[in-house]
Chain A
Amino acid sequence: MKKLINDPDDVVDEMLDGMTAAYPDRLRRLPDTQVVVRDDAPVDGKVALVTGGGSGHEPTHAGYIGDGMLDGAAAGDVFSSPTADEFEALIGACDAGDGVLAIIKNYEGDVMNFETAIELAEMEGVEVESVVVNDDVAVEDSLYTSGRRGVCGTILVHKAAGAKAAQGADLSEVKRVAEKVIDNVGTMGTALTSCVTPEKGEPTFDLGDDEIELGIGIHGEPGTERTELMSADEITDALTETVLDDLDLDPGQEVLTVVNGMGGTPQMELFVVNRRLQELLGEHDLETWDAWVGDYMTSLDMMGASITVCAVDDELKELLGAPADTPALTTT
């Protein structure tokens, strides 16, 4: 597979250097780590928002660092959690004394490493709260698994909680907003192709020319169901219906939707999906307050998309629509 990669072992390191070089007055990398923070971190008088996870999901995570969103993010190796000491360095660099909210996607490695770091930071006197995002409706939340995964809905948590923190709200209020988004958001994704990890250099799973995976995560893992290729509208219906079943919204509810590309999908196709998504919401008597289309939470070069629906009230509309200025997302 042809790739713009020098050496798989250096890819995250080189990406982070390239990213901070692209935004030298906004982003800063902590020396000897894979942690990126706002250039002006720690920001006085504000709760700090931090996150992190495996690399390969760009612009997640560091792309959302900036005014109105994150203060910093730790990047792990491709599809691997950052280690606890990196999370600890991240928390330490972003805390300005008003507390830190850690936004964790529900993957065991991420959760355990972040929680270990939080406990260590607390021993140093830092006030830290955390939320775990688990918006992937494809996975059954049961006693017998580690639960639903955190996927594209995480961006909305960054946005709403980030806006709340920017308003000067205290840690418990910022956390409440983050949890409100988590309680009201659902996501379901599909893969038309597998992604190619730098390490392996070939597709993670085999998918026939006439097959797709439904219910994928963001690490190139197989989905919950493999079916024959369907039309864009049929795929959109399958994803959306699963999300709406899970959210169980009342007619007339206002929603924010996200059609998210997995990294290798042309915008043209994402808009085709969005067209059908909006039709379908109308058929369900749901009202679209805002519709986002783009690559927000990717899986390297995977072709495919995820659909996120988030029920919004006045508070969430104000926060999700509030100004943000980051490399990957700007709202005015």
Chain B
Amino acid sequence: MTDDGAAVVAAVEAVAERIEDERSYLTELDSAIGDADHGGNMARGWAAAADAARDLDEPDAQTVCKTVGKTLMAEVGGASGPLFGGSLVFASAELDGGVTPESAVAFAETYLEKVEDRGDARVGDQTVVDALTPAVHTFKKSIETDDRPPLEALAKAVDAAERGVAFTVPIRAKKGRASYLGWRSVGHQDPGATSVLYILEELLAVAADRLDAEIPDVDATSPTIPDEGEEAADATAPDPEDD
């Protein structure tokens, strides 16, 4: 197995465990605005995905992602199957040459694009897109514009996703089952966006673990402030190696 492949398998196992831990909370979020099946469907899907990933013989990262995507597509059902799984199948093509900062950005962008297209959703619709978009944009900027180390870029993406999840609470759903509730959807945290955050948090934890590094503390920085904050951002987001 390539190192990249092994890392992705470890990440999938971590996600499966995390989603299982959060299963009832996700279902609770979904019962307020949907049909109360998000936690169960996701837990079942990720458990099957982790099994499928473990069964692969010496896979590379692309193969693991594609297999996990296909498994989620077949097992999760509803809208989450194509959103979480289908998008992964398509985005996995970007990892053709292994996982590099550049291919990771391309992967994230394709994933976001597929989710947006499939759900016909944009930021502000109270969906997974609200967590995914700031995470992907922050990751891309951190790598391409700010030239940050990948782990720090991922930490910033997680921070951005967290803000995105919080953003789903005060807005009104325009897509998904919650949209039929109209104004009654206001005040509820989107379960799908919450799952996105859990997945990203586990990716970060596994990445840090494999690099044998601490998770960078980026909590105090705003993920969306443009470039002139460069120095200030540096000051508040120290390189973990400096500690």
Contact = CB atoms under 8 A, between A and B. Distances in A.
Interface string B53-97: 000000000000000001001111111011101100110000000
B23 interface: no
Nearest to B83: A112
Interface in A183-236: none
Given A116-B118, A143-B174, A144-B172, A109 B179 contact: no
Nearest to A139: B180
Nearest to B78: A109
B82 A116 contact: yes
Contact of B78 (A80, A116, A120): A80
A143 B174 CA distance: 7
Interface in B26-70: 70
Given A83-B74, A119-B90, A108 B177 contact: yes
B175 A80 contact: no
B87 to A, nearest CB: 8
A81 to B, nearest CB: 6
Given A83-B77, A85-B74, A146-B175, A115 B180 contact: no
Contacts of B83: 112
B176 interface: yes
Contacts of B90: 119
B150 interface: no
B73 A112 contact: no
A112 B119 contact: yes
Nearest to B172: A144
A278 interface: no
Given A84-B73, A116-B73, A145 B81 contact: no
B121 to A, nearest CB: 10
Nearest to A115: B118
Q: Please tell me the size bucket of the interface on B.
A: 20 to 34
B226 interface: no
Contact of B89 (A81, A109, A120): A120
A113 interface: yes
Contacts, number: 66
B179 A146 contact: yes
A115 B180 CA distance: 22
A83 B179 contact: no
Given A144-B174, A145-B180, A108 B86 contact: no
A115 B172 CA distance: 26
Contacts of B76: 83
Given A116-B73, A116-B86, A120-B89, A81 B78 contact: yes
A77 B74 CA distance: 13
A85 B70 contact: yes
Interface in A45-93: 76-77, 80-81, 83-86
Contacts of B82: 84, 112-113, 115-116
Nearest to A113: B82
Interface in B171-211: 172, 174-177, 179-180, 182
The listed residue with most A CB atoms (<10 A of its CB), out of B70, B73, B177, B182, is: B73
Contacts of A112: 79, 81-83, 86, 118-119
A208 to B, nearest CB: 23
Given A85-B73, A113-B82, A144-B182, 14 more contacts: A76-B77, A83-B73, A83-B74, A83-B77, A83-B81, A84-B81, A84-B85, A112-B79, A112-B86, A113-B81, A115-B118, A116-B73, A144-B172, A145-B180
* Nearest 4 CB-CB pairings of A with B: A116-B86, A116-B82, A112-B82, A85-B74
18 contacts: A76-B77, A81-B78, A83-B73, A85-B70, A86-B74, A108-B177, A109-B78, A109-B79, A112-B118, A112-B119, A115-B118, A116-B73, A116-B81, A116-B86, A116-B118, A120-B86, A144-B174, A145-B174
